[in-house]
């Protein structure tokens, strides 16, 4: 491995310039008084205090977490059966199905989300279909449902691909061994297949939850002005209000929350490893 | 001991993608037996095991387990457990949880599970390993856990699918004893699949030898080893000398022109048979005391014994001359074509078989364009040969008239007859150019073709005999001249395992007892 360590250098340089440095700047900004620059640094906690003392801000944070959790749960329950079905198909079918899952990702996410506006808007296709069943007066666009739909639609492939990969990698003889030991198909799934697919599930959850909690253009486009999430708030602080320091503080709070959540999720994975490692 | 039938396979047929893997297997397996399914890879042994385990459905036939037809039952309803080839331990569970898996499915109480798992850990000698992660165990330890995980369910039958294949030699030997001990201790039927004949002989009460989806022989290791029913079994189980013979009458068999007493009977008079003599059953003695005599060809030290090859009947050989000439192609007047061909010899009996094609091939006649190196077809051949010894001219020409004249030698070639070995061989002198020899890709084969070397059984001319070739020139640096080429066959060789040393080249006698001769019918192979 050591021989190849040289190859990591380009990435290390890139990461330092593009990831670590900006992160450090955001962290610094969040502890800085308004209007300060790096040269004349004066420490303050006022931005954090502002966030935690304002009911509205906390509500937005809570709402963002709730919708991200909802998105993740829906993606999991839609994605797992799909992934299971794909992983159990013949190799040729598998390739075609994976292609079907990934094809939408070839088109820009923003474009696809705009398409949903057309579909959901008043007099749009979906409302017309619903009106056949007498449900035509339902408001669709600019609701929580629309935002949720947009997120599930955009992030579902990540869940499916992660779970499908871990299921395909699984040795089929384990399923046979389980049946051999008297487990019926349901028991085999519960005791063998599902636990072994957990790494994929956790990766899937991570890849869905993280973009969902910080997404800003989906709530902006499909939620209109009504449905304001933390991502929109950060965007607002930087672009409209111009309060970079406050925006940085919100970003830092989000980063810490996500880190804690991910650490909790990893814990489940480690607990699932079976037996002590020497 | 009264034996009870536990498993009956009834006419099991199975094919994959139109390829028949099992051709109607009928087999009974009894209680408390250590049964081995033995055969080369692809013989269907694993398929049969998987059908019994419920992982494959047979196309035809039925499996009866303890008096009950189970062909339609899923694996989790069958009272048997499997040790898989690569163990298939659950990587997310500890050693304890792996072993307890089947018991938890049966919803046994925690203290009963505890007791049973601990007992199993003692049986396999892995006490104190219960909390270990299975992926960190050695191959042998994983193997033991897999056995314990299956046995803890107290199945009536344990199926083992080449469970020792992944272990190294020393560990494999250890596990062989271990498995046998465990089987005797728990007293259930083990069905063991392997391609390793030594493993099968060491461990089994009963061996089922399979080949091409059919059972060849069922019997105890002693039966299978000492009385193989056919050539395949004799070859597959242990090393053996297999030779053709004739059963003159009961207790009398004749091979290599000598009549021997034997203990076999029940064959037709003068029935052709195969005779097996195990290498360790033959003793080397003085020439005067031997039932057969021969020359020691090679002595190999094998640790416990010497492996000695004795040739009792010499092989046959014939030496011919190869005349190597310089390249002698003819160029057309305009220089646009080249043509070449060789003189060749033909037996007087083969003259009538000669046609244009054969003459071109034997003379190796060819024409080509020297610039592009492309071949030009030989459009015209003129020759006239009679069934009489002599020299006959032959002319090869292209459509443009470029031609070359050569000679066909018709000879009455005597063949070499070896009555004792029941074979004859023959070969012809031949002429080749330097280039043809240096450019040959497979010289041995080419030499045989050029000399038209052939060997056959005297008793049956249709049956050919393998011929080897010897020569002393260096094919890379051959020059013009005459070289002797020898074509030869191996004689009758016996492989002998003995602890006594013999010198190579020594004349010795071979002796064996009548009961060491095993006569096998040729039918059924």
Domain assignments of chain A as residue spans, ordered by start: 70-228
Q: Both B349 and B211 in a single domain? A: no
B373-397, pLDDT tens digit by residue?
A: 888 888 888 888 888 888 899 998 8
Q: Both B179 and B91 in a single domain? A: yes
Q: Both B173 and B36 in a single domain? A: yes
Is pLDDT of A151 > 90?
yes
Which of B233, B257, B277 finishes a domain?
Answer: B233
B55, B96, B106 member nearest A176 (Cβ):
B55
Q: Both B131 and B262 in a single domain? A: no
Tokens, residue A80: 């797992």
> In chain B, which residue's Cα lies nearest the Cα of A175?
B88
Which residues of B fall within a CB distance of 8 Å from A198?
92
Maximum Cα interatomic distance, chain A, rounded to a whole number of Å: 72
**Residue A180 to residue B90, Cβ atoms within 8 A:** no
Count CB pairs under 8 A between chains A and B. 89
Is pLDDT of A172 > 50?
yes
pTM across the whole model = 0.72
Q: Both B306 and B321 in a single domain? A: no
What is the least distance, in Å, from the CA of B57 to any CA of chain A?
Answer: 14
3-class SS of residue A120: helix
What does the pLDDT average to over B433-437? 84
Domain of B10, in residue numbers: 5-233
Which residues of A fall within a CB distance of 8 Å from B97?
274-275
Is pLDDT of B27 > 90?
yes
Residue B142 counted as domain residue: yes
Residue with tokens 């107290």: B154
Structure confidence at residue B25 (pLDDT): 92
Which residues of B fall within a CB distance of 8 Å from A195?
92
Which of B233, B267, B292 finishes a domain?
Answer: B233
Question: What's the number of domains chain B is made of?
Answer: 3
Number of Cβ atoms within 10 Å of the Cβ of A86: 22
Which residues of B fall within a CB distance of 8 Å from A277?
133, 136
How many angstroms separate the CA atoms of A6 and B237, rounded?
A: 56
Q: Both B272 and B414 in a single domain? A: no
Number of Cβ atoms within 10 Å of the Cβ of A153: 19
- The CA distances from residue A9 to A18, B52, B73, B101, in Å, are 14, 57, 59, 48
Exposure on the CB side of residue B443, measured as CA atoms within 13 A? 17
Q: Are B521 and B292 in contact (CB under 8 A)?
A: no
Q: Both B516 and B473 in a single domain? A: no
Is pLDDT of B523 > 70?
no
A32-81, pLDDT tens digit by residue?
A: 887 666 666 788 888 899 889 988 889 999 999 999 999 999 999 999 99
> From edge to edge, which strands make up the β-sheet containing B518-521?
B258-261, B252-255, B241-249, B271-277, B518-521
B230-280, pLDDT tens digit by residue?
A: 888 988 888 888 888 889 988 999 888 788 998 888 888 888 888 989 898
The percent of residues in chain B predicted with pLDDT above 90, rounded, is 29
Helix (H) or strand (E) holding B298: strand B292-301
- Minimal CA–CA distance to B491: which of B414, B415, B422, B428? B422
**Residue A275 to residue B94, Cβ atoms within 8 A:** yes
**Residue B93 to residue A196, Cβ atoms within 8 A:** no
Torsion over CA: A250, A253, A259, A264 (sign): negative
- pLDDT bin (cut points 50, 70, 90) of residue B1 is very low
Structure confidence at residue A275 (pLDDT): 47
Q: Are strands B34-38 and B206-211 parallel, antiparallel or unpaired?
A: parallel
**Residue A187 to residue B94, Cβ atoms within 8 A:** no
B452-510, pLDDT tens digit by residue?
A: 888 888 877 788 888 888 888 888 888 888 898 999 888 888 899 988 888 888 889 99
B105, B134, B149 member nearest A183 (Cβ):
B105
Which of B194, B211, B233 finishes a domain?
Answer: B233
* Interaxial angle between packed helices B139-151 and B110-123, expressed in degrees from 0 to 180 and rounded to the nearest 10: 130
How many angstroms separate the CA atoms of A62 and A254, rounded?
A: 11
Residue B503 counted as domain residue: no
Residue B274 counted as domain residue: yes
- Minimal CA–CA distance to B510: which of B278, B225, B237? B278
End-to-end CA distance of chain B: 34
**Residue A177 to residue B90, Cβ atoms within 8 A:** yes
Which residues of A fall within a CB distance of 8 Å from B75?
176, 179-180
Is pLDDT of B420 > 50?
yes
Q: Are strands B344-347 and B403-411 parallel, antiparallel or unpaired?
A: parallel
Q: Both B172 and B52 in a single domain? A: yes
Q: Both B133 and B221 in a single domain? A: yes
Q: Quick one: fold of A70-228?
A: MetI-like fold (1.10.3720)
- Minimal CA–CA distance to B10: which of B69, B59, B61, B45? B61
């Amino acid at each position: 491995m050591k021989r190849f360590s040289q190859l990591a250098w380009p990435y290390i340089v890139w990461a330092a310039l593009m990831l670590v440095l900006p992160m450090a700047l955001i962290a610094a900004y969040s502890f800085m008084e308004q209007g300060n620059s790096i040269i004349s640094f004066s420490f303050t906690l006022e931005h954090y205090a502002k966030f935690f003392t304002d009911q509205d801000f906390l509500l937005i944070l809570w709402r963002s977490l709730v919708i991200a959790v909802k998105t993740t749960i829906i993606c999991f329950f839609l994605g797992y059966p799909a992934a299971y079905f794909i992983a159990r198909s013949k190799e040729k079918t598998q390739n075609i199905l994976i292609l079907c899952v990934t094809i939408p990702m070839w088109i820009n996410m923003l474009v696809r989300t705009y398409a949903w506006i057309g579909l959901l808007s008043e007099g749009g296709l979906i409302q017309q279909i619903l009106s056949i069943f007498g449900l035509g007066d339902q408001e669709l666009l600019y609701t929580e449902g629309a935002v949720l739909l947009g997120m599930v639609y955009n992030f579902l492939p990540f869940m499916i691909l992660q779970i499908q990969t871990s299921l395909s990698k699984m040795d089929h003889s384990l399923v046979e061994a389980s049946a051999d030991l008297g487990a019926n198909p349901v028991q085999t799934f519960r005791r063998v297949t599902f636990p072994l697919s957990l790494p994929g599930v956790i990766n899937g959850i991570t890849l869905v939850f993280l973009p969902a909690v910080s997404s800003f253009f989906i709530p902006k486009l499909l939620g209109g002005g009504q449905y304001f999430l933390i991502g929109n708030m950060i965007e607002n602080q930087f672009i409209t209000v111009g309060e970079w320091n406050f925006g940085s503080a919100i970003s830092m709070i989000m980063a810490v929350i996500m880190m804690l959540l991910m650490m909790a999720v990893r814990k489940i994975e480690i607990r699932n490893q079976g037996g002590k490692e020497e | 001991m009264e034996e009870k039938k536990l498993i009956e396979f009834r006419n099991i047929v199975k094919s994959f993608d139109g390829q028949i893997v099992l051709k109607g297997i009928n087999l009974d397996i009894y209680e408390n037996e250590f049964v081995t399914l033995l055969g080369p890879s692809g013989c269907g042994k694993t398929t049969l095991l998987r059908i019994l385990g419920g992982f494959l459905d047979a196309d035809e036939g039925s499996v009866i387990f303890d008096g009950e037809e189970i062909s339609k039952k899923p694996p989790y309803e069958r009272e048997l457990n499997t040790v898989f080839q690569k163990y298939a331990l659950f990587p997310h569970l500890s050693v304890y949880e792996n072993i307890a898996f089947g018991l938890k499915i049966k919803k046994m109480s925690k203290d009963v599970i505890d007791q049973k798992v601990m007992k199993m850990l003692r049986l396999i000698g892995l006490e104190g390993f219960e909390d270990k992660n299975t992926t960190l165990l050695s191959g042998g330890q994983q193997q033991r856990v897999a056995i314990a995980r299956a046995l803890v369910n107290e199945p009536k039958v344990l199926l083992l699918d080449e469970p020792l294949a992944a272990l190294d030699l020393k560990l494999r030997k250890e596990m062989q004893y271990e498995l046998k001990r465990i089987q005797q201790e728990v007293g259930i039927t083990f069905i063991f699949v392997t391609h390793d004949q030594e493993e099968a002989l060491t461990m089994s009460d009963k061996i089922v030898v399979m080949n091409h989806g059919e059972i060849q022989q069922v019997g105890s290791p002693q039966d299978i080893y000492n009385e193989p029913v056919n050539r395949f079994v004799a070859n597959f189980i242990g090393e053996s000398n297999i030779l053709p013979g004739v059963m003159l009458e009961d207790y009398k068999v004749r091979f290599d022109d000598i009549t021997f007493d034997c203990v076999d009977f029940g064959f037709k008079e003068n029935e052709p048979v195969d005779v097996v003599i195990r290498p360790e059953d033959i003793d080397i003695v003085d020439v005067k005391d031997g039932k057969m005599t021969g020359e020691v060809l090679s002595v190999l030290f094998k640790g416990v014994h010497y492996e000695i090859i004795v040739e009792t009947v010499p092989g046959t050989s014939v030496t011919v001359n190869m005349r190597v000439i310089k390249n002698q192609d003819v160029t057309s007047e305009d220089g646009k074509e080249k043509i070449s061909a060789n003189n060749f010899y033909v037996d007087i009996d083969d003259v009538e078989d000669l046609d244009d094609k054969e003459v071109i091939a034997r003379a190796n006649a060819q024409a080509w364009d020297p610039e592009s190196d492309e071949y030009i077809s030989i459009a015209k051949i003129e020759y006239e040969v009679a069934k009489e010894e002599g020299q006959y001219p032959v002319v090869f020409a292209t459509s443009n008239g470029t031609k070359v004249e050569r000679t066909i030698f018709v000879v009455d070639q005597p063949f070499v007859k070896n009555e004792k070995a029941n074979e004859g061989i023959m070969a012809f002198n031949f002429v080749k150019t330097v280039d043809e020899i240096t450019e040959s890709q497979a010289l041995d084969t080419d030499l045989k073709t050029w000399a038209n070397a052939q060997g056959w059984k005297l008793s049956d001319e249709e049956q050919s005999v393998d011929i080897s070739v010897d020569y002393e020139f260096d094919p890379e640096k051959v020059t013009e001249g005459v070289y002797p080429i020898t074509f030869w066959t191996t004689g009758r060789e016996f492989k002998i395992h003995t602890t006594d040393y013999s010198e190579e080249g020594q004349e010795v006698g071979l002796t064996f007892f009548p009961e060491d001769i095993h006569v096998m019918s040729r039918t059924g192979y």
